Amino acid sequence: MPIINDIPAFHAFLTTNPNSRILALCGAGLSAASGLPTFRGAGGLWRNHDATRLATPEAFRADPGLVWLFYAYRRHMALEAKPNPAHHALAALARQRRKFLCLTQNVDNLSQRAGHPPSQLRTLHGNLFTLKCFNRRCSHVEHNNTADPLVPSLAPASVTTPADATRPLPLVDADVPLVHIPASELPRCPQCASLLRPGVVWFGEQLDGALLGEIYEWLDEGPISVIFVVGTGAQVWPAAGYVQEAAARGARVCVVNTEVAEETLGPEDFGFVGDAAVLLPRLLEPVIGSTKDDGTFE
């Protein structure tokens, strides 16, 4: 049986391995406490569209305006959101432990904004604020574009529903028809005039080869004491692959998620059921100290 919800046991483990290498793999659940939707399960729909079907090159080819509205909305939400205590705890761990590497599937830039050292963070799925050319033969990339709205036609995506509203605003209200945005009103590449697309990895696309190479180099530098799996299932790809690689280098698995599939964990592994924003600061306290009022650490 894995070790479930036993914080003292985890603290004992952490303090007996003070100089060890630590890996983390983070998913959407890390940013859930910041108010960003995970687009899974019942919340997996955006305006009656299955979010996983919008995040493909085929969907972009078929209706780039619709896909851009979805991403413009996510950009807006991410800009409005703030890093939560889980982002801050991981960033503090990275500052304390130079041998800690964090892989994130999140594209919201919240780990970066929490001050996570860039050398210890790998964004597997890109960044909402990177724009790149949809033309594969063109190499144009623009980083760090926070324009909101990105172009005037995407303004409807930049309106947030007020907390006291009785109905969501049109963009998130599935009863209000979406406006069709013609390709002529979408952002264009300054080099070749093709459409620009969000700099994220879509379903059916390969992860960046150079990035994967860097991760494998890190993995091969030596044994790993623990792999945290935060806000995502340990048995889904790509987490499953990294869990295997880390386990092959001696790591125990520590899952922190709203659901923990105990049967997938080994007898030495840890599982913590709940919100990462509550659990991670407590789990890491022996290394990062206790939380200050502003959500950062001593």
Ligand X SMILES: *[C@@H]1O[C@H](CO)[C@@H](O)[C@H](O)[C@H]1NC(C)=O
Please identify every residue annotated as catalytic: 125
Q: Which stretch binds ligand X (CB under 6 A): 18-26, 108-116, 158-166, 206-214?
A: 108-116
Residue 140 in contact with Zn ion, rule: CB under 5 A: yes
Q: Residues touching Zn ion: how many (CB under 5 A)?
A: 8
In the complex with ligand X, the residue whose CB is nearer, 98 or 143, is 143
- Quick check: 123 and 208 in contact, CB under 8 A? no
CA distance 232 to 245: 17
Residue 192 in contact with Zn ion, rule: CB under 5 A: yes
- Quick check: 35 and 76 in contact, CB under 8 A? no
Residue 113 in contact with ligand X, rule: CB under 6 A: yes
Nearest Cα to Cα of residue 91 among 252, 297, 276:
297
Residue 196 in contact with Zn ion, rule: CB under 5 A: no
CA distance 181 to 70: 12
Residues 88-117 that bind Zn ion (CB under 5 A): none
CA distances from 149 to 74, 177, 237 (A): 11, 20, 33
Residues 127-146 that bind ligand X (CB under 6 A): 129, 143-144, 146
In the complex with ligand X, the residue whose CB is nearer, 143 or 292, is 143
CA distance 269 to 254: 6
- Contact partner, 153, from Zn ion, ligand X, none, Cβ < 5-8 Å per class: none
CB 199, min distance to Zn ion, A: 13
Residue 188 in contact with Zn ion, rule: CB under 5 A: no
Residue 112 in contact with ligand X, rule: CB under 6 A: yes
CA distances from 199 to 141, 207, 232 (A): 8, 12, 22
Residues 148-177 that bind ligand X (CB under 6 A): none
Residue 141 in contact with Zn ion, rule: CB under 5 A: no
Residue 191 in contact with Zn ion, rule: CB under 5 A: yes
Distance of CA 265 to the CA centre of its chain: 23
Phi and psi at residue 131, in whole multiples of 5°?
Answer: -115, 140
CA distance 124 to 200: 9
Q: Which stretch binds Zn ion (CB under 5 A): 108-116, 181-189, 201-209, 248-256?
A: 181-189
Binding site for ligand X (CB under 6 A): 109, 112-113, 129, 143-144, 146
